[in-house]
């Protein structure tokens, strides 16, 4: 990614009030290198094979699975999540078994790894000599050089002129018509890349970022009070949850319209789910003559 400035925050009026997408503010970003895709099952498998790493979902013995993706004995289903009955805790669900113990990764080597917590993602980054992107880096990269647009490709809707991202179609959460071709994850190089050559920055899977989450992040300090240009912001110094960006295959206008460049979400660092993954950035970019 070349160094540059951009306007960070809600650019379409679709903000979710509790997510803190406003106020819009100018941010300067130093040059950095980011993965063209989210980390795949094959890549994560190499990490596990070399290190013997055990994910938190494996350690805890369960993870969150969307009800239409269940592939597990009835006895493994721990019941619906409070407030979101389309999610269930499923014993034996992990990155190798995304739908539960009756599922596997056959034919999914090029799909994004899921059921990885923020802590798992950081462990992978340490092995790879990389790190998670900051929230500001992620949004700058997602915009693909089109400042102020709703999506990585511009302002056209996801289904305008052919599907542009992997989201939920139909009546959420009961019936997914799969018009975009996928019930759950899609291969990481599906659809078209953005102007920076990055694939599926929105839809498919949520992506962990480095930052702690707070809904008033954009209103704090010089960003809101003095309206000065902020360079390489890193978010709050502490918190209870970490930022997630990009939305997922479960996003739908009626439920979660967070498949947008500026949309924010969060989860605790030890949480994992069947629609959450990550991509990495280089620790630094060497200056070039």
Phi, psi for residue 98 in degrees, rounded to 5: -65, -25
- pLDDT tens per residue, range 125-148: 999 999 999 999 999 999 999 999
d(CA 231, CA 221): 13
Report, as an integer, the average pLDDT of 217-226. Answer: 65
Mean pLDDT, all residues of the chain: 94
Greatest CA span in the chain, whole angstroms? 62
Does residue 289 have a pLDDT over 50?
no
Q: Can you name the residues that pair with 207 across neighbouring β-strands?
A: 245, 277
Does residue 233 have a pLDDT over 50?
yes
CB-hemisphere CA count at 13 Å for 156?
9
CA distances for 72 relative to 16, 91, 100, 156, 203, angstroms: 34, 8, 5, 38, 25
C-alpha 191, offset from chain centre: 17
pTM of the entire predicted model: 0.95
For position 227, what pLDDT does the model report? 62
Q: Is 117 helix (H, G, I), strand (E, B) or coil?
A: coil
Report, as an integer, the average pLDDT of 155-167. Answer: 95
- How many CB atoms sit inside 10 A of residue 228's CB? 11
Could you tell me the residue ranges of all domains in the chain?
Answer: 4-282
**For residue 150, which of 201, 189, 207, 112 has the smallest C-alpha distance?**
201
Report, as an integer, the average pLDDT of 149-163. Answer: 95
d(CA 274, CA 48): 18
What fold is seen in the domain 4-282? 3.90.1580
């Amino acid at each position: 990614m070349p160094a540059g400035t951009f306007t960070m925050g809600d650019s379409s009026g679709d903000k979710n009030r509790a997510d803190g997408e406003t106020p819009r503010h100018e941010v300067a970003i130093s040059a950095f290198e980011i993965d063209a895709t989210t980390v795949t099952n094959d890549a994560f498998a190499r990490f596990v094979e070399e290190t013997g790493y055990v994910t938190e979902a494996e350690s805890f013995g369960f993870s969150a699975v969307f009800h239409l993706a269940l592939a597990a004995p009835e006895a493994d289903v721990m019941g619906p999540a409070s407030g979101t009955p389309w999610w269930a805790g499923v014993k034996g669900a992990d990155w190798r078994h995304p739908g539960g113990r009756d599922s596997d990764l056959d034919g999914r080597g090029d799909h994004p790894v899921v059921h990885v917590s923020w802590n798992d993602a950081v462990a992978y980054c340490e092995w790879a000599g990389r790190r998670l992107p900051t929230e500001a880096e992620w949004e700058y990269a997602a915009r693909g050089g089109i400042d102020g647009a709703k999506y990585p490709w511009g302002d056209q809707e996801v289904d305008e002129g052919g599907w542009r991202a992997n989201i939920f179609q139909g009546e959420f959460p009961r019936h997914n018509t799969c018009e975009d071709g996928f019930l759950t994850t899609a291969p990481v190089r599906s659809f078209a890349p953005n102007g920076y050559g990055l694939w599926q920055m929105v839809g498919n899977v949520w992506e962990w970022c480095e930052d702690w989450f707070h809904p008033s992040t954009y209103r704090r300090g010089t960003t809101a009070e003095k309206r000065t240009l902020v360079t390489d912001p890193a978010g709050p110094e502490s918190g209870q949850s970490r930022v997630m960006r990009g939305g997922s295959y479960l996003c739908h206008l009626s439920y979660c319209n967070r498949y947008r460049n500026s949309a924010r979400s969060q989860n605790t660092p030890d949480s994992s789910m069947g629609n959450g993954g990550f991509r990495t950035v280089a620790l630094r970019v060497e200056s070039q003559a």
